[in-house]
Amino acid sequence: MDTYLVPRKKSHSLWRLGALTALASSAAPSTLYAKTALDTPRWAISVNDGHSITLPNGKMATGSTYSPDSAVLIGFHGSQPFIGNGIELPGSVQGPPTMAWVSPNSNWAVVTSGAKAGSAPGAPLVPDTRVSVISIEHGVPKLIQTVEAGLGPSGVAVSNDQKWALVANRVGGTVSVFKVVNKHLVDEKIIDFGKDSNPTTVEFLPNSQDAVVVLRKRNALALLVREKDGYRAAPNMVSVWSSPNTMDISHASGLIAVAGMDKVAPGVSILRANPAGLHELYRFPVAPGPEPLHFSPDGRILAVGSVNDSNAHPERKGSVSLYHLDEKSATKIAEAPVGHWPQGIIFSPDGHTLIVQNNTDQSLGVYHVEPEALTFERDIPLGVGPSASASAW
């Protein structure tokens, strides 16, 4: 069997992931490695947390032994994913799996770190403030800037014209507004929603320079309006399903999906933006712990994952469901089991493959998407817990 490993230069920017060597003897090279890996025009990214563990009570803590936090590029040959180069940088599973952004042409990315290791094994995690900016040239990620946002930076997004970046600071109750200058972030201002607001995810609206932020403890969304010198919060908020956390906005359909993490009755709110603001179209119930949530590239399918307390209970596993959406309702068309503590979801550019990050299992689950079925294909082991994801499409 021929095995093609991604070329590695002698650079501190390259992440030397030991799991890649193990993959060479256990997986088909055509699906994991290829000679053309570095020529892939667009990338997805997996951010990985190497310092966190989950205690039996479900709380996160500092691990006794851990690997460096990191980010690794994921490319696709058609529908088949492969692992590209990676880089060591701060990453965290504490927060929604929306703590990364990749530019549409895949030449730079931004990653946030919600929490870092505590002072000793078993100690509580400490809120972080770090935001990393990386350039991507010929498939090689390189750290070009580290800046500070507020406490517990979580969701991150860059405007459609790539002139502004927003970071939702979950612990601080703020949104950091950065001006983008030559792929570097320049701190401009803070939008303060109050420490009881818990901003988690922020996303820009399609064909617009306005953005939306999830305020988990307010059970609401707030519209962020573009102004000459940055952004301001619109006065009226829109209520959504209780305990909202992860949000995705389809640039193909314009639909907005927000997952409500209510422990008794979890669900998803579907909204749309219009000239008058944000308007909720409908809601539908989903399986427990809907932390992963992502639209297909064409905007017709919404993938919703279920943690199902699998982060704290080894006997349980998560799941992922596919829903067909229109303006009036959501119809479940497929469901499949996944690993423990699912996080981010990545669709292939053609929508025929779905990847689920399994944090506890330290793997990526690969599934084939059919019109009304979801078929498990294989796991890609990473050797570190994947915690957030983003793609250029």
Give the CATH number of the domain where residue 126 resides: 2.130.10.10
The pTM assigned to this predicted structure is: 0.90
* Residue 289 located in a structural domain: yes
Give a yes or no: residue 191 inside a domain.
yes
Nearest-angstrom CA–CA distance, 212 and 191:
13
Using DSSP's 3-state secondary structure scheme, residue 255 falls into strand
Residue 40 has a pLDDT of: 64
d(CA 95, CA 167): 12
Q: Name residue 268's amino acid.
A: V
CB distance 24 to 30 below 8 Å? no
State residue 55's pLDDT score: 82
- What is the widest separation between alpha-carbon atoms in the chain? 62
In a domain, 175, yes or no: yes
Residue 19 backbone dihedrals phi, psi, to 5 degrees: -65, -25
Torsional sign, CA 224, 214, 302, 74 = positive
Write down the pLDDT at residue 20.
39
| Joined tokens for residue 340 | 């423990």
Q: Per the structure, how many domains does the chain have?
A: 1
The terminus-to-terminus CA distance of the chain in angstroms comes to 33
Per-residue pLDDT of the chain (393 residues; tens, 9 = 90+): 222 222 223 333 334 443 333 333 333 332 333 334 455 679 999 999 999 988 877 788 998 877 899 999 999 999 999 999 999 999 999 999 999 999 999 999 999 999 999 989 989 999 999 999 999 999 999 999 999 999 999 999 999 999 999 999 999 999 999 999 999 999 999 999 999 999 999 999 999 999 999 999 999 999 999 998 899 999 999 999 999 999 999 999 999 999 999 999 999 999 999 998 999 999 999 999 999 999 999 999 999 999 999 998 899 999 999 999 999 999 999 999 999 999 999 999 999 999 999 999 999 999 999 989 999 999 999 999 999 999 999
- Alpha carbons 94 and 63: distance in angstroms, whole number: 14
Judge whether 290 lies within some domain.
yes
176 in a domain, yes or no?
Answer: yes
pLDDT at residue 41, rounded to an integer: 74
178 by DSSP, 3-state: which?
strand
Whether residue 245 is contained in a domain is answered as yes
Calpha distance 384→393 (Å, rounded):
25
* 375 and 27 Cβ atoms separated by less than 8 Å: no
140 and 167 Cβ atoms separated by less than 8 Å: no
Nearest Cα residue to 200 out of 269, 164, 150:
150
| CB-count burial class (<10 Å; 0-12, 13-18, 19+) for 277 | middle
- pLDDT given at position 312: 86
Residue 301 resides in a domain = yes
Residue 340 counted as domain residue: yes
Bridge partners of residue 226, in order along the sequence: 231
Q: Which domain holds residue 286?
A: 18-391
For residue 223, what pLDDT is reported?
98
pLDDT value at position 347?
98
Taking a C-beta distance cutoff of 8 angstroms, is the pair 120, 46 a contact?
no
* Burial call 125-135: b when 16+ CB within 10 Å, e when fewer: bebbbbbbbbb
